[in-house]
Structure 1
Amino acid sequence: MDQQQRLPKDSWEDHIHTLKLFVPKEFSFQENLNYLQRSPNECLFTIRNDSIYRAIPLEDDVAVIEVSAENHEQAILVRFLGNTTPTEPSKRTEVANYVRDWFDLNTDLVPFYSMAETDPMLSQAVQSFYGLRNMGIPDLFEALCWGILGQQINLAYAYTLKRRFVEAFGRRIECEGEVYWMFPRPEDIAPLRVEDLGGLRMTVKKCEYLLGVAGLMTDGKLTKELLLEAGSLKKAEKQLDGIRGIGPWTANYVLMRCLRMPAAFPIDDVGLHNAIKHLLGLEAKPTKKEILELSAGWTNWESYATFYLWRFLY
C-alpha cells in the first residue's frame, strides 16, 4: 500500500533528558516551522524563538517538550521540560516516534522531488518550499475531528472551533509557568450528548459526527491498525467513507495526514482547486477532469503534491 521508500525508524539517540533525531538531507526545519506558524489561533503547541513547545500525552503520563533544530538543521533536538522526562526508555521511544511521525521524517522525498522537477506546478512548489514535510496529525481521533470541524468553513474559523473543543474537553498541564493543552480523547467525548457541545457554537450535525466517531473509537471499531490492515487505500477510504459525517474529502484528508498513505488525494478540496487556478493563471477553478489530467504524473505522491500546492495558500 505504501510504495514510498521508508527511512530507518531508529534514526535517533536517547540522551534521557534530550532526544536527538537525525533528519534527511531533504529537510528544512525552518520551512516546517513556517508552516506551523500559519495560524495564530493554534492551541496544541506554541512557537517561541524558533522552537516548538507542546505536551505529548503518553499512556498514563504526559511529556512536555521543546523541539528545535541543531547544527544547521542536521538534527532535531527534543528537550523535556520541567519534571516531565519519562523515566522509562519505552516512553522516550514513544515521544521520539511521535515527533518523527509528526514531521514525517521516515519518508524519503528524493523520488518526489525528482518527479516534481518535471511538473509545471510542482516544480514551482518544491523550489519555494524545499524541505517541507507533510506535517502530520499522528492521533487518529484528532485527525478525524479536525477533518470534521473543517468541513465547509474557512481555515480561520476551523481553528476557532478546534480551540473551543480542546479548551472545553481536553486536558491541560502547567509546566515552567506555561499552560499546555492536549486534544480530547475519544473516551472524553463518547459519553457526551449534543447539548453538551452547544458551547462550541457549531452545527448540530457536526456535533453528532464528533460523538459518533468518538463512540466508534471507544468501542474499538475504528483504529489506525484496522485502517492500515485494510490492505489498500481504496478499502481504507471505504471504511472511513461509511462513517456518518465522513465523506471522500475527510477520508482522504485523514489517510493523508494521519495514516500517511501516499496516494491519498482529496481531489475535491477547494484549496487545491484555488492553488491550481492561481499557479496556472486560470479564469475559473479547474474541473475534476482537468485535475485528473494535471495530476497524471503524481502517482503515489498525490498526498505530497496536494500538501505542497496547499502551501501557496496557507
Structure 2
Amino acid sequence: MPTDRTTTFRCHLDLPAGFRRGDLLAFHRRDPQQQAEQVDDTSLRKGLMWDGLPACLTLQIAAHAAEATLEIDGEPATDGTAALTAMVRRMLGLTQPVEQFEQCYRDHPQLGALIRHHPGLRVPLSATPFEALAWAITGQQISVGAAISVRRRFIQTAGIAHRSGLFCHPDPHRVAALDEDRLRQAGLSRGKAQTLLALSQCVIDGQLPLDDWLGAPPVDDIRARLLQVRGIGPWTVSYGLLRGYGWLDGSLHGDVAVRRNLQRLLGRDDKPDAAETERWLAGFSPWRALVAAHLWAMQAADGY
C-alpha cells in the first residue's frame, strides 16, 4: 500500500538538435494497454521501483529539452537527483556518441542510406539493466506481440502499483518473492521463469551487481557472469547490454528482425543466416548493435 509520504525528485536535460523524441516514445508505447507506461505525443509516464519503493517517472520532452519528475511512494534512503539525471540521460540515449558513428559511415554504400533516413538515431534504454534483461528473457524465441502480452501479465503478477495507478516493473527482490508457478501463470515458459528467478537471485546475492556497473560497465565481466545463468545466451546478453547500459557493440546476429531487414538492405532473395549476419556486422565494430538498431528502424512500428 502507498504511504502518506511522497518524495519528488526533478531534473532538466538539454537535448541535441534534431533529437528523435518519437523513437523513445515508440519504445515505451509497445503495450497498447498502457498499464505500466502511458505515452502521448510529447510525454512518458512510467511505473518503476526506486530504492525498493513504487515510483512514477514523468518525462516531458520538448524540442530542445526534457523535464523529468520522479514521484516516489515513501522516503528513499538518499537524495536521488543525481541518480535520476543519470538514468534519464541513459534512457534518452544521450550517452551514445551517434555523431561519431554517422560521420564514419555516412558514405557507406549500404548504411549511408539508413543513416540519411534516420539521422540522429539513438537506442532508447530501459530504466534499469534488470528491466532490460527481464524483457530480453521474456522475448526469447517469440514474437514481439507475444512478448508484450507476457510482459504485461508478468508486471501484473508482481502486483506493485504506484499511487497514480500505474503498475511498476518489479525489481529483483520482488521477482525473487514470486515462485515458478506464478510466473508460469503469467505466460512465461518453465525455462524462462527459472531464468528470471535465477537472475534475480544473482543480483540479490551480489553476483550480478547490475546497478553498480552503470557508471563504467565492465562489458567482458558482465557478459561472462550473465552467460553463467542458465537460459541466458549471447543474444540475451547483447540485447541486455544494449538496452540496459547503452553498449553499442553487441552482435545481434541471431535476431530474426536484424536478419530479415539485412536481407532487404542488401537486396537479397534469401535471408542471411546467423553466421553470415555475424560476419557482416563484424565489419562495423564497435558499432554493431547501433547498426542493428538502424536495421530495426526499417520497421520501427514493431517496437523492438
Query: What residue is the counterpart of 1:269 in the other structure?
Result: 255
Write the distance in 2 (CA, Å) between the matches of 1:85 and 1:133.
Answer: 34
- CA deviation vs aligned residue, 1:217-253 (integer Å, no higher than 9, x gap): 1211112267679985444322211210101110111
Which stretch of the first structure deviates more once superposed, 273-282 or 146-155?
Answer: 273-282
Contact in 1 for aligned 2:241/2:247 (Cα 8 Å): yes
> What code does the residue aligned with 2:284 have?
W
Unaligned regions of 5+ residues in structure 1, if any? 1-15
1:114 aligns with 2:138: no
Residue 230 of structure 2 corresponds to residue 244 of structure 1: yes
Change over 3 Å in CA distance of 1:52–1:192 after alignment to 2? closer
Secondary structure at the aligned position of 2:80 is classed as helix
Identical amino acids, percent of aligned pairs: 24
Show the counterpart of 1:134. Answer: 123
| Aligned CA distance change for structure 1 residues 205 and 38 (closer, same or farther; 3 Å) | closer
1:123, distance to aligned residue in structure 2 (A)? 2.2
Tell me, yes or no, if structure 1 residue 222 matches structure 2 residue 208: yes
137, 143, 167: which one aligns with 1:148: 137
**Cα distance between partner residues in 1 of 2:190 and 2:23:** 38
Q: Report the counterpart of residue 294 of structure 1 in structure 2.
A: 280
RMSD of aligned residue pairs (Cα, Å):
2.9
1:125 aligns with 2:114: yes
Q: CA deviation at 1:124?
A: 2.7
Name the SS for the 2:60 alignment partner.
strand
Q: For 1:107 and 1:78, how far apart are their aligned partners in 2? A: 19
Q: 2:130, 2:244 within 8 Å by CA — same for their partners in 1?
A: no
Deviating above 4 A after TM superposition, structure 1's stretches of 4 or more consecutive aligned residues are 60-63, 83-89, 225-232
When normalised by structure 1's length, the TM-score is 0.82
Q: Name the residue aligned to 1:37.
A: 29
AA partner of residue 118 (structure 1) = D
Q: What is the CA-CA distance between 1:129 and the residue it aligns to?
A: 2.4
Residues 251 and 281 of structure 2 are in contact (CA less than 8 Å); yes or no, is this contact kept in structure 1? no
The count of corresponding residues between Structure 1 and Structure 2 is 293
TM-score between both structures, scaled by the size of structure 2: 0.84
Say whether 1:166 aligns with 2:155: yes
